[in-house]
Structure 1
Amino acid sequence: MNERVAIRVGNAVAEAAPDLWGLFIEDLNDALDGGLNAERVRNGDFEFAATDRDGFHPLTGWAAEGAVQVLTDLPIHPNNRHYASLTGPAAITNEGWDGMRTVSGERLRLSLFARAHGTPVELAAAIGDGLATARRTVEPGGWRRLVIDLDATATGRGELSLAVPAGAALDIDAVSLRPLGDDGEPLTFRPDLLQALEDLAPSFIRFPGGCLAHGYGLANLYRWKDTVGPRHERVHDRNIWNYHQSRQIGYGEYFELCEAVGATAIPIVAAGVCCQNSPGGQRAVPDSDMDAYIQDVLDLVEYANGGIDTPWGAKRAEHGHPEPYGLRHLGVGNEDVINDDFRDRYARIENALREAHPDITVIGTTGPATSGPDYEAGWAYARERAIAVVDEHGYQSPRWLHQNLDRYGAYDPEGSKVYLGEYAGASSRIRSALAEAAYMIGLERTPGVVRLASYAPLLARVGHSQWTPDLIYFTADEVRLTASYHVQQAFGAERGEQVHAVVLEGARPFSRPVPREGAVRFRSARAAIALTEITVDGNPVPDAVITPGGDDLLLAAIDPEAAEIAFTAVRRDGADGFSLGLGPEDPQTSFRLDFAVWQNKNTAVIRRDDGIDNWESGCVWPGLADGVPVAVRVRLDGPRLQVWVDGERHHDLVRDDRPEQRVVAGALSRSGAGGGVEYVVRLVNAEDTEKPVRIDLPGTPGAVEAELSVLAGAGPDDGALFEASPVRPFRTTAKGENGIDLVLPPWSFTAAVLREASATPR
């Protein structure tokens, strides 16, 4: 019989962090163009280029029939140089992203710039095979903007076709097709995705990055001024995630989005340095350009908050929003190396902000992980400068999350506060969503330290992904909400004003068994690797070759608690490096050593539990070169793992065997509608058995009723990338005296709102 779990909600211990739960929108996974952006034309400005991605060109996304060429003389704007020139009979067609989806009865607005040569030109526009059609005459002369409203007469997918007859000559640029809203105006955002974001009830939205903010080299820094004003005048750029940025969702639309969902804005600007993973590494804005760069940052605050009597406040009004946006936070930097250049550039930016806008809370940065040199240096710098809030990132496995629920309880509450700007539980499975819920309860318990948090990445178009897992998947036809989404929604929708102490009795921590047998396995995705001078526990092993993309090379059996492996590796050809697996098969605990697997630039230790990876340790390394031998030695000694490369120790770590807190509870309170008190109690049961639970409230409230939202009914490993959650939350109620009795289903998350039976629901 399952033991009963007792949860006693104690007195309030702290004010809840009011802005804790928010969103982070970055343009990766086609999150903006092809996603949240309601635009249905791909590359409508003909500005795609090979610098965006190999194979891209100005007609990417278009098919041409007849005499069609791309020209750059006399463009509509210097920032939009390329345009299509058609000599009839000719046509260009655009399928958008995986086909343009239209719905019968839908109204669409086609807009474009056209320039006819010599005589009037009749332009024929059509979507698909008769889904919507229209014709317009373009008079000769300069560039003219055409606006054509189309009525979809059928439902389906098709292509936008623009055609001219024989004898006609027409230039075309800035082609746009957007659905019309109820007010008859073109929509900025795709409605179903916008609704999914609004339903999360975010307190804030972070934008534009992430890595996108500081770019792939200094020329690729995200310059906010390039993203406002008329869309056809904006500066296009390469996307660091290996595609193109149209900037149609720029800073103006970002602030508009914040208003639409009731969130405050948290823009992130580069700290005067580019991404550390750029060619040549992290480089700084030249000193001669820093004053102008700092002024750009100050102008962003003025654009958001300045009166219409200020230069950039007037620009905001010119762009259609005379009222200030009320900016309160500004992030400076993202996962940067804290070197001398960074320290200088960051300090100059922050000093200027403190002087000009002391009411703005500046958010600093640490590295991309929850530990390591960048993390330590980032926090040391934050303490040195007394930075108000520091941005931490951490993508961790469910095992790690369950082991570290009290992580922020060890932080100094008098020091810099934490914005957990990027986090996720490493998969789209139920077990990851529940681990995230447990960890979020831990974040909620420490409002004196953790002030803000946002899951990442937020959006991903199926078939166009660069990073997984993601919170929301979508296609042209549907939005797929993950189990992690339902967890985030429960936290955002039901918030509290006071954090309460919670005593939980009867829940036993989970301890993982230590594996006693395993094997040594090699693999490589892209390189042929010759292995020589191989020994396992002092015994010689025949030479072997790792083939790129082949099956694992099984070398020998080992005891994962006591083993020593040595070998020399030589890359014969191919790219990047190889991996060495140590231990048993899934779902038991094992380790993987990556040698130059990511961009041929480091070694890493990856721990694997329940078939889910967790980054444990990294070391910068020049990588492999064809024909150059590399000597590797690995020692397993109980929980300790050591790795040497060419005699230099790269890794020395101890396996974390701490028990996992799999049954977790947290509680907050808030004022009820009728003046009473409501309690928001969150409960995670990440175990295989149901748990009878008694929740007691403080004092003697008498008769209690509760409304519950329960995510349950699936196994821990149900749920997959790019798919909707296998289960959705269901609602139920409960009643009791001075509390309630519940049964928590296995592998479930419950959000309960409790109040006195006589109280009015909020």
Structure 2
Amino acid sequence: MILTGKRNSYPTYLLKIVLLAVILQTHPRAFAQEQKTFVIDASRPKGDINPNMWGIFFEDINMGADGGIYAELIKNRSFEFFRPMMGWKKLGKANEANMTILNRQEDQHQANPRYLRVDTRKVDSLIGLQNEGFRGIGIKEGLAYDFSLLYRQPNAGIRLKVELLDSLDQVIGQAEFQPNATKDNWQSGEARLTAQKTDPKGSFRLWFEGEGVIDLDMISLFPEDTWKGRKKGLRADMVQALADLKPGFIRFPGGCIVEGFDLSQRFQWKKTVGPIEDRQLIINRWNTEFAHRLTPDYFQTFGLGFYEYFLMAEDIGAEPLPILNCGMACQFNTGELVPLDELDPYIQDAVDLIEFANGSVDTRWGKLRAEMGHPEPFNLKLLGVGNENWGPQYVERLAIFQKILKEKHPEVEIIASAGPYSSGEYFEYLDKELRAMKVDIIDEHFYQEPKWFLNNASRYDDYDRKGPKIFAGEYAAHSRKATDAEQRNNWEAALSEAAFLTGLERNADVVQLASYAPLFAHIDGWQWNPNLIWVDNMNVYPTPSYYVQKAYSTNPGTQIIPLLEQEEPVAGRDSLYASSVLDNVHKQVIIKVVNTSATAKQVSFTVDGIKKLAKSAQVEILTIDDPLAYNPVGQQRQVMPKESTLPLKKNTLDLAMQPQSFYLIKIAY
């Protein structure tokens, strides 16, 4: 009735206020963000969470091992690359008579037959060798470096001068080593030199002074600051990045490395244990896999072998999860098969690996483990048979493995491959067959665009709870919005992964294990992308995806508890994704919530089933307004978690979610 008065009898500004009030009453969304209410019922746990659910996947790709986490700084230290002098440069007036590659024919040296003979008797100037390292050698001022080698010298006469060089070939560290006369016996020698300067692209030089003949092998250089100070060990900062994730397991050695381009290049664990100089080097299958990223100097020396994998898992508190070849080479390459009646050596490798990990020191392989420095067993509980294999030929080979392993070691759970695809004919065939076989765990892989991860946050909601458990063994969002050829782990990809992982966590009663892949990449030597952690010769650079993984792996909880909106899981409605768990150890309710939209969201969480909650919640947020943002190597990180606190009103938490954001919320009780 107010609106019926004379036009000039009612002030215009009051009329506008009245109209605004009417609009707000009938259309509140036009001016205010709708409040979303989520209810968490801690009194109705849906199932227990595997304490080792969130793990890591390691493969020697992108220079992840040699040139990466394995801290050896000399490339081609034993002259076993297909070009024996690759990585080395002769110095001075050395000709073929002065430096020759020889090949031992004795049976005991089949794994490492080549060595270098240096003859200085007929040269009129100093001769030497220079090694370029793996895309250079990262040298740190004040740090000591341990040089070592195997040598044989009939008569004393040659001295070795060892040098660290900067990128301009200036000497920044030096030492001398005086070899003994050894007649026909090989001996080990070592020296320590300290760097006077930092240079990420240094090199190594060796001069031969005096007159005589000397044979050299296993020329090696390690920094003193290896992980736990172990001589000839692992790169400490890279292992620390893994330890910070507090992973429940570490899967090794891959990946396609397990299969090989053909069976001759497959990973054979027995060739990676024992003395380092007796481990047989092979070409890395990523050496020529990608035509646009050819890496002819990429080999596997196996200084990081199965013993070191087990030891690293123990160091960082993770369960070891080795994957073995099932008698099949990569089906994307040769697809080479071992005939079924010749499969016994492959199965024996699996049986012997369990003995190496768990057997007493009185057994053959348990004895070797003890001789390597670990008499206590590694308590292996999980073993994968095959990687991304598919088809009837895989099923029939797996069945033979399963029968024998379950008879001999029923305590070890077998992980079977669901192939390289997450749907389609190959996947559906394997899913049906593996369930009929009642395998323990099925390994599913997902390399997809971010949209796929968002659309599949409910993938496991309807999986059979009585069938095999699931291992989300390899996953990574591959953003097609990347602006450069490297397709780094941008925020769009990481955010979609965070959303997908709420679905894994909500279904942790069936999804027992999960790991991102690949793990490491060297900025100057990568073949595949994206990757969880990028490195250069000096530093480690976590990606946005790393921080997402860390939020889950360091906050796994002990029980799944429902988080619902109107009795439905929060799995994509209005671009929101959420999950919640109960941590009975640390007495916390833990919430992960994701907003994938470009607009802010106002949400509230009501926690039922707990009498007394803390008055505030700990909050960690990952967000940035640019979906293409990533953490560039060598520069300041753009995406990092920020911490804050929020008050609780009785049992309710109000949260104003930023656009494109991931929140980790912990409420103590």
Instruction: Report TM bin, short chain.
Output: 0.7 to 0.9
Offset at residue 31 of structure 1 (A)? 0.4
**Aligned residue in 2 for 1:283:** 336
Q: Deviations over 1:599-652 (max 9, x none)?
A: xxxxxxxxxxxxxxxxxxxxxxxxxxxxxxxxxxxxxxxxxxxxxxxxxxxxxx
**Aligned residue in 1 for 2:380:** 327
Superposition pairs for residues 604-643 of structure 1, below 5 Å?
Answer: none
Sort the Cα spacing of 1:509 and 1:200 in 2 relative to 1 into closer, same or farther, 3 A: closer
Superposition pairs for residues 42-81 of structure 1, below 5 Å?
Answer: 42-49=75-82, 57-65=83-91, 66-67=94-95, 68-73=99-104, 77-81=109-113
Whole-Å separation in 1 of the counterparts to 2:413 and 2:570 = 39
Whole-Å separation in 1 of the counterparts to 2:614 and 2:234 = 46
Offset at residue 285 of structure 1 (A)? 1.9
2:324 counterpart of 1:260: no
**Structure 2 counterpart of 1:44, one-letter code:** R
Whole-Å separation in 2 of the counterparts to 1:103 and 1:721 = 22
2:232 counterpart of 1:171: no
8 Å contact kept, 2:613–2:668: no
**Aligned residue in 2 for 1:353:** 405
Whole-Å separation in 2 of the counterparts to 1:702 and 1:130 = 63
Offset at residue 117 of structure 1 (A)? 4.4
8 Å contact kept, 1:121–1:139: no
Whole-Å separation in 2 of the counterparts to 1:302 and 1:73 = 32
Whole-Å separation in 1 of the counterparts to 2:252 and 2:585 = 34
2:189 counterpart of 1:146: yes
8 Å contact kept, 1:102–1:131: no
**Structure 2 counterpart of 1:711, one-letter code:** L
**Structure 1 counterpart of 2:447, one-letter code:** Y
SS of the aligned residue for 1:384 comes to: helix
TM-score (norm 1): 0.75
Sort the Cα spacing of 1:661 and 1:259 in 2 relative to 1 into closer, same or farther, 3 A: farther
Give 5+ residue unaligned stretches, structure 1: 50-56, 511-658, 757-762
Higher relative contact order (CA 8 A, sep 6+): 2
TM-score (norm 2): 0.85
8 Å contact kept, 1:77–1:232: no
**Aligned residue in 1 for 2:72:** 39
Whole-Å separation in 2 of the counterparts to 1:507 and 1:357 = 42
**Aligned residue in 1 for 2:351:** 298
Offset at residue 247 of structure 1 (A)? 0.8
State which of 108, 132, 136 in structure 1 corresponds to 2:145. 108
Q: Deviations over 1:702-747 (max 9, x none)?
A: 6532111111233222227768752210111112121222211111
Whole-Å separation in 1 of the counterparts to 2:203 and 2:75 = 11
Aligned-residue RMSD, C-alpha:
2.2
Offset at residue 165 of structure 1 (A)? 2.6
**Structure 2 counterpart of 1:719, one-letter code:** Y
Whole-Å separation in 2 of the counterparts to 1:184 and 1:35 = 17
Aligned pair count reads 595
**Aligned residue in 1 for 2:206:** 162
Offset at residue 35 of structure 1 (A)? 0.6
Superposition pairs for residues 385-396 of structure 1, below 5 Å?
Answer: 385-396=437-448
Offset at residue 59 of structure 1 (A)? 1.2
Offset at residue 295 of structure 1 (A)? 1.3
**Aligned residue in 2 for 1:314:** 367
Greater Cα offset, 112-121 or 33-42: 112-121
Whole-Å separation in 1 of the counterparts to 2:566 and 2:638 = 31
Superposition pairs for residues 23-34 of structure 1, below 5 Å?
Answer: 23-34=56-67
Q: Deviations over 1:330-350 (max 9, x none)?
A: 0001111222x3333221111
Offset at residue 441 of structure 1 (A)? 0.7
Offset at residue 85 of structure 1 (A)? 2.1
SS of the aligned residue for 1:733 comes to: strand
State which of 660, 664, 669 in structure 2 corresponds to 1:751. 664
**Aligned residue in 2 for 1:8:** 39
SS of the aligned residue for 2:562 comes to: strand
Whole-Å separation in 2 of the counterparts to 1:126 and 1:120 = 20
Q: Deviations over 1:7-33 (max 9, x none)?
A: 211232221232210000000100000
Offset at residue 661 of structure 1 (A)? 6.1
**Structure 2 counterpart of 1:313, one-letter code:** G
State which of 684, 687, 698 in structure 1 corresponds to 2:608. 698
Whole-Å separation in 2 of the counterparts to 1:112 and 1:74 = 21
* Identity in percent: 34
**Structure 1 counterpart of 2:144, one-letter code:** R
**Structure 1 counterpart of 2:285, one-letter code:** I
State which of 629, 637, 645 in structure 2 corresponds to 1:718. 629
Whole-Å separation in 2 of the counterparts to 1:494 and 1:196 = 16
Superposition pairs for residues 130-145 of structure 1, below 5 Å?
Answer: 130-140=171-181, 141=183, 142-145=185-188
State which of 291, 304, 308 in structure 2 corresponds to 1:249. 304
Superposition pairs for residues 542-691 of structure 1, below 5 Å?
Answer: 662-671=575-584, 673=586, 677-691=587-601
Sort the Cα spacing of 1:666 and 1:184 in 2 relative to 1 into closer, same or farther, 3 A: closer
Sort the Cα spacing of 1:672 and 1:145 in 2 relative to 1 into closer, same or farther, 3 A: closer
**Structure 1 counterpart of 2:504, one-letter code:** L
SS of the aligned residue for 2:47 comes to: strand
Whole-Å separation in 2 of the counterparts to 1:420 and 1:404 = 13
Offset at residue 278 of structure 1 (A)? 2.5
**Structure 2 counterpart of 1:693, one-letter code:** V
SS of the aligned residue for 1:343 comes to: helix
Whole-Å separation in 2 of the counterparts to 1:326 and 1:751 = 33
**Structure 2 counterpart of 1:108, one-letter code:** Y
**Aligned residue in 1 for 2:160:** 123
8 Å contact kept, 2:260–2:285: yes
Offset at residue 316 of structure 1 (A)? 0.6
Whole-Å separation in 2 of the counterparts to 1:240 and 1:385 = 32
**Structure 1 counterpart of 2:272, one-letter code:** T
8 Å contact kept, 1:468–1:721: no
Whole-Å separation in 1 of the counterparts to 2:633 and 2:400 = 43
Whole-Å separation in 1 of the counterparts to 2:154 and 2:180 = 9
Whole-Å separation in 1 of the counterparts to 2:665 and 2:552 = 11
Q: Deviations over 1:101-154 (max 9, x none)?
A: 221221221111122244421111111133221111222323221111222232
8 Å contact kept, 1:667–1:682: yes
Offset at residue 507 of structure 1 (A)? 12
Whole-Å separation in 2 of the counterparts to 1:29 and 1:684 = 31
SS of the aligned residue for 2:159 comes to: strand
8 Å contact kept, 1:460–1:470: yes
The structure that is helix-richer by fraction is 2
Whole-Å separation in 2 of the counterparts to 1:26 and 1:151 = 32
State which of 251, 261, 265 in structure 2 corresponds to 1:206. 251
SS of the aligned residue for 2:615 comes to: strand
State which of 735, 748, 756 in structure 1 corresponds to 2:647. 735
8 Å contact kept, 1:473–1:723: no
Offset at residue 693 of structure 1 (A)? 1.9
Sort the Cα spacing of 1:171 and 1:288 in 2 relative to 1 into closer, same or farther, 3 A: farther
SS of the aligned residue for 2:309 comes to: helix
SS of the aligned residue for 2:178 comes to: strand
SS of the aligned residue for 1:490 comes to: helix
**Structure 1 counterpart of 2:173, one-letter code:** A
State which of 469, 472, 475 in structure 1 corresponds to 2:533. 472
SS of the aligned residue for 1:408 comes to: coil
Superposition pairs for residues 367-516 of structure 1, below 5 Å?
Answer: 367-427=419-479, 428-504=489-565
Whole-Å separation in 2 of the counterparts to 1:414 and 1:93 = 61
**Aligned residue in 1 for 2:395:** 343
8 Å contact kept, 1:284–1:342: no
**Structure 1 counterpart of 2:113, one-letter code:** R
**Structure 2 counterpart of 1:136, one-letter code:** F
Whole-Å separation in 2 of the counterparts to 1:348 and 1:683 = 44
Offset at residue 187 of structure 1 (A)? 4.9
Sort the Cα spacing of 1:187 and 1:248 in 2 relative to 1 into closer, same or farther, 3 A: closer
Whole-Å separation in 1 of the counterparts to 2:570 and 2:45 = 26
**Aligned residue in 2 for 1:708:** 619
